A and B are shown apart, each in its own frame.
Chain A
Amino acid sequence: MKMVTPLGRARGLGSARTGAHHWWLERLTSVSTLILFIWFIVALFRLPAYDHSTIVQWLSQPLAAVPMILLIASTFWHLKLGLLVVIEDYEHGSLRLLLVILVNFLAALGAALAIFSVVKIALTGSAE
């Protein structure tokens, strides 16, 4: 074990060139999520009813299913990045790795469930 401080070890190496990557993705996905949620809210307000057949009929249209899939991808990406920042800020112990893994897995699970559901509705239409 070398007697070097963390600063001493990093000094002179230059940047890893990925420092702003997380920050940038958080902003990028916040813009796309905002645009898609404006679409989503307007679309919900324009629907005549909210029963099963209306929702299925609506989501079976390409111009509803595709923005919905993009909304899910964008939202879950954004929420994963956000939750990771919160965990990294407050949790420094051995729990941290577990929580980071959990957030990654659960975000993927939620997004997959939601996207598959939209795809199923879009491809099978009004089939019960």
Chain B
Amino acid sequence: MHRNPARPLSPHLTIWRWGAAMAVSILHRVTGAGLATVGALALVWWLVAAASGGEAYARFAGWASWKWALLFWVPLTWAFWQHTLSGLRHFVMDVGAGFELRTNRLWAWLVMVFAVLFTALTWAAIFFWKLV
């Protein structure tokens, strides 16, 4: 598309007041991009290491169970839940439901709250069963 740079663009992100629906939409993209890049990389590294033998696997496991690696795993877990719950919200909206302002805002907030809650529950479960 050809665009005359001298002409103004329609108002974009900087001009809108923040709302829950806008935040969920942006977070869906950000978490999706994060899962698709670093998340996918971790999955591939894990499987390639497992197929490459004990030494390669120990290198992966050593990094994955390093205590500072939690700074990677916990945000990744949150990204997973945020993107998953947000995706479920998209299914509701795909059938044409949930577009009323109050309902839409409520669902957007619920997605963000439950993403944090499920992240906490996931890690509580991991530590409870002493899996790490």
In the complex the two chains form, what is the Cα distance from A120 to B41 in whole Å? 19
The reply to whether the CB of B6 lies closer than 8 angstroms to some CB of chain A is: no
A50: chain B residues within 8 A (beta carbon): 61, 131
The reply to whether the CB of B27 lies closer than 8 angstroms to some CB of chain A is: no
Q: Is the interface of A mostly helix, strand, loop or mixed?
A: helix
Q: In the complex, which residues 73-128 of chain A have their Cβ closer than 8 Å to any Cβ of chain B?
A: 75-76, 79, 82-83, 86, 92, 110, 113-114, 116-118, 120-121, 128
Q: In the complex, which residues 56-78 of chain A have their Cβ closer than 8 Å to any Cβ of chain B?
A: 56, 59, 68, 72, 75-76
0/1 string, B105-132, CB within 8 A of A gives 1 = 0000000000000000000010001010
Q: Which of the residues A76, A82, A83, A117 comes within 8 Å of B51, measured between beta carbons? A: A117
What range describes how many residues of B lie at the interface? 20 to 34
The reply to whether the CB of B87 lies closer than 8 angstroms to some CB of chain A is: yes
In the complex the two chains form, what is the Cα distance from A92 to B1 in whole Å? 8
What range describes how many residues of A lie at the interface? 20 to 34
The reply to whether the CB of A52 lies closer than 8 angstroms to some CB of chain B is: yes
Q: Is the interface of B mostly helix, strand, loop or mixed?
A: helix
Check A56/B43 contact, CB under 8 A, given A45-B131, A51-B61, A86-B29: no
Are A45 and B125 within 8 A (Cβ)?
A: yes
Are A52 and B50 within 8 A (Cβ)?
A: yes
Shortest beta-carbon distance from B32 to chain A in Å: 5
The reply to whether the CB of A43 lies closer than 8 angstroms to some CB of chain B is: no
Shortest beta-carbon distance from A93 to chain B in Å: 11
Are B43 and A75 within 8 A (Cβ)?
A: yes
Are B50 and A83 within 8 A (Cβ)?
A: no
Q: Which of the residues A82, A117, A118, A121 comes within 8 Å of B36, measured between beta carbons? A: A82
A45: chain B residues within 8 A (beta carbon): 125, 129, 131
Between-chain CB contacts (< 8 Å), 9 pairs: A27-B91, A34-B87, A45-B125, A51-B61, A55-B50, A56-B50, A82-B32, A83-B36, A128-B53
Contacts A6-B1, A37-B80, A117-B47 known; list 15 others, CB within 8 Å: A27-B91, A50-B131, A52-B50, A52-B54, A72-B47, A75-B43, A79-B36, A82-B32, A86-B29, A92-B1, A114-B44, A114-B47, A117-B51, A117-B52, A118-B51
By a beta-carbon cutoff of 8 Å, the part of chain B in contact with chain A is 1, 29, 32-33, 35-36, 40-41, 43-44, 47-48, 50-54, 57-58, 61, 80, 84, 87, 91, 94, 125, 129, 131
